[in-house]
Chain A
């Protein structure tokens, strides 16, 4: 596996369900990010992890709970979501320190809340 891998690719869940999104990066990066991409809206940065420590939470509702057990893995735990949470959730990684080379993105998880 190379790059940034996200699973599952598609997820349909009810509003009372609990599910998790997984992201794994094989690039040796030390920072990871969750973005939300909704139709007709800009990419929204949700969470930033730097060396496994959360460094940013952009006023994300508590029904989204991130977890970063190590620099290679990032999870987004979901519970009691709302239909407006339906979106493409993108994970990205980057290398902190030195020249900023930008982010490497995964292919995303398409989430539908019913």
Chain B
């Protein structure tokens, strides 16, 4: 069965430091891969997505993610974190068919220290 694992429940980084959030998936083929961000009390906003082609994808707010097929991973990175990046981040695996579906990881809560 398809699944998404985000091994880090909570991460704290200092403002200006680099960030990497981990995501591993289980799926029989190359899925569609997504990262979403959720600020407190808000819905989920799409940061970036990967379908095919270049394995390094750029998103909004200075985020990027790299698809590594051999590791079944799609880690999210940012070179320099800003205080406004504090939020919860969700990795999702999707696939097409009769109805497109997304399965979400359990999320990683990011705290940013001044």
Bound pair: A and B?
Answer: yes
Tally A-B pairs: CB < 8 A: 57
B53 interfacial by beta-carbon distance below 8 Å: no
- Interface stretch, picked from B15-23, B63-71, B72-80, B95-103, is B95-103
B interface SS class: strand
A interface SS class: strand
Q: Which residues of B contact A (CB under 8 A)?
A: 32, 34, 36, 41-46, 49, 51, 90, 92, 94-96, 98-102, 104-107
Which A93-114 residues sit within 8 Å CB-CB of chain B?
A: 94, 96, 99-108, 110
Q: Which residues of A contact B (CB under 8 A)?
A: 4, 6, 31, 41-43, 45, 48, 50, 55-56, 88, 90, 92, 94, 96, 99-108, 110
| CB contact under 8 A between A42 and B105, given known A99-B51, A106-B43, A108-B43 | yes
